[in-house]
C-alpha cells in the first residue's frame, strides 16, 4: 500500500484576491516541491468528489449550508468575515475539500491506502458549526471524524491540530463528544482568541507563547499529548496539518522548522502504529510562506510515505 494524495484542479479556482495569504499558489508550491523530492511517483494520486449534503450535515446544520448557498456570488467576491471571501468557485472547492477528507478516511479504513494527505483548499479548522471564518467554510476534519464514527462504526478517533492558530471550529464541532479526543497546539494569545481554555474533557489544548523555542515546543507537546493519546487508544488518527508555526511564516511568531514538522509527524505516526494499525489521514490547514510551506509539507508527506 501507499500514501494517498488527494488533489483536484478546482481547489485552485477558489481565489480570494491578490495579496491574500490563503492563495492558490500554496498548493502549486507544495506539488512542485514534491516533484523536486521525487515523491510524485511514489504517491497514489486521487481526484476527489464533492461531499454530499448529508456528509456536510454531519457537522453543519442545514440552515448554515443554505445561508452559504444564498451568499455565493455569480461573479466577483463577497466576504463572510473580514478575512474570508467567496467567489463563484468557492463552494465547489469547499465541497471537494470536505469530500476529499471523507474519501481519504474511506481509503485508509478499507485498506486501499496506508495513510493519506489531503492537499485541499479552502482549509476547514476555523469553520464552526454555524459560522465561516478564518479562510474556512466547512470543517473538513470534523466531517471526516463524524463519517468515520457513523459510517465505519469506529468508537475512538483522535484529531491532532498543530496549526499555529487554534482550531476553534473543530473544538466547536467535537467538544463533549467522548468518542473524539482533540489535541492541539497553537500560539496564545492569538487569533482566533477563543477556545483556548479547558472547554471540555475531550479537548487537550497546548497554548504556546510567542517566541517559544522549538525545543520547548517539542517538550510541551510531547508531555501534554502523548499520555492523553496513549490512554485514549485511537482507532484512527486525523491531523489538521497547518505549517504556519514555521519561523518564516508571516502570520505567526513561533520558531519551528521543517525538522520540527518531521518530528511531529513521526510522533503521530508512532501513535497510529501502536493503536490504529497505522491508519492516519492528514489534511492541509495553514502555512503562508510558500517556500517554508512547501518544505514543511514535503517533510510531512515524506514521513507518511515511508510507512508500509
Cα gap 213→47, rounded to integer Å? 39
User: Regarding beta strands 115-118 and 280-284, do their DSSP bridges make them parallel or antiparallel, or are they unpaired?
Assistant: parallel
Instruction: Give the end-to-end CA distance of the chain in Å, rounded to a whole number.
Output: 6
Choose, from 126, 165, 275, 300, the residue flagged as catalytic. 126
Q: Which residues contact 174 (CB under 8 A, 6 or more apart)?
A: 142, 145, 159, 180, 182, 202, 203
234 contacts 183 by C-beta, under 8 angstroms: no
257 contacts 247 by C-beta, under 8 angstroms: yes
Cα gap 142→102, rounded to integer Å? 10
Beta-bridged to residue 84, according to DSSP, are 81
Cα gap 267→163, rounded to integer Å? 16
- Residue 246 appears among annotated catalytic residues: no
Beta-bridged to residue 207, according to DSSP, are 186
* Residues identified as active-site: 126
Amino acid at each position: 500500500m501507499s500514501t494517498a494524495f488527494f488533489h483536484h484542479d478546482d481547489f485552485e479556482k477558489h481565489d480570494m484576491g491578490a495579496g491574500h495569504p490563503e492563495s492558490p499558489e500554496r498548493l502549486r508550491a507544495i506539488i512542485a516541491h514534491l516533484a523536486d523530492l521525487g515523491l510524485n511517483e511514489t504517491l497514489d494520486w486521487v481526484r476527489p468528489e464533492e461531499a454530499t449534503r448529508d456528509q456536510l450535515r454531519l457537522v453543519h446544520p442545514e440552515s448554515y449550508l443554505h445561508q452559504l448557498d444564498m451568499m455565493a456570488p455569480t461573479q466577483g467576491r463577497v466576504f463572510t468575515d473580514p478575512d474570508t471571501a467567496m467567489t463563484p468557485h468557492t463552494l465547489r472547492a469547499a465541497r471537494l475539500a470536505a469530500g476529499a477528507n471523507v474519501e481519504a478516511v474511506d481509503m485508509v479504513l478499507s485498506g486501499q491506502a496506508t495513510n493519506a494527505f489531503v492537499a485541499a483548499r479552502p482549509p476547514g479548522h476555523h469553520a464552526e458549526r454555524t459560522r465561516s471564518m478564518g479562510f474556512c467554510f466547512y470543517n473538513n476534519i470534523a466531517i471526516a471524524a463524524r463519517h468515520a464514527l457513523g459510517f465505519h462504526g469506529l468508537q475512538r478517533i483522535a484529531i491532532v491540530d498543530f496549526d499555529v492558530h487554534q482550531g476553534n471550529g473543530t473544538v466547536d464541532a467535537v467538544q463533549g463528544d467522548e468518542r473524539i479526543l482533540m489535541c492541539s497546539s497553537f500560539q496564545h494569545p492569538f487569533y482566533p482568541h477563543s477556545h483556548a481554555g479547558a472547554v471540555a474533557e475531550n479537548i487537550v489544548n497546548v497554548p504556546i507563547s510567542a517566541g517559544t523555542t522549538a525545543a520547548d515546543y517539542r517538550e510541551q507537546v510531547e508531555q501534554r499529548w502523548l499520555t492523553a493519546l496513549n490512554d485514549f487508544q485511537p482507532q484512527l488518527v486525523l491531523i489538521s496539518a497547518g505549517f504556519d508555526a514555521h519561523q518564516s511564516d508571516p502570520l505567526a511568531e513561533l520558531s519551528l522548522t521543517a525538522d520540527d514538522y518531521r518530528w511531529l509527524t513521526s510522533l503521530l505516526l508512532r501513535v497510529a502504529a501502536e493503536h490504529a494499525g497505522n491508519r492516519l489521514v492528514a489534511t492541509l490547514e495553514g502555512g503562508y510562506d510558500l517556500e517554508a510551506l512547501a518544505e514543511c509539507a514535503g517533510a510531512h508527506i515524506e514521513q507518511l510515505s515511508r510507512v508500509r
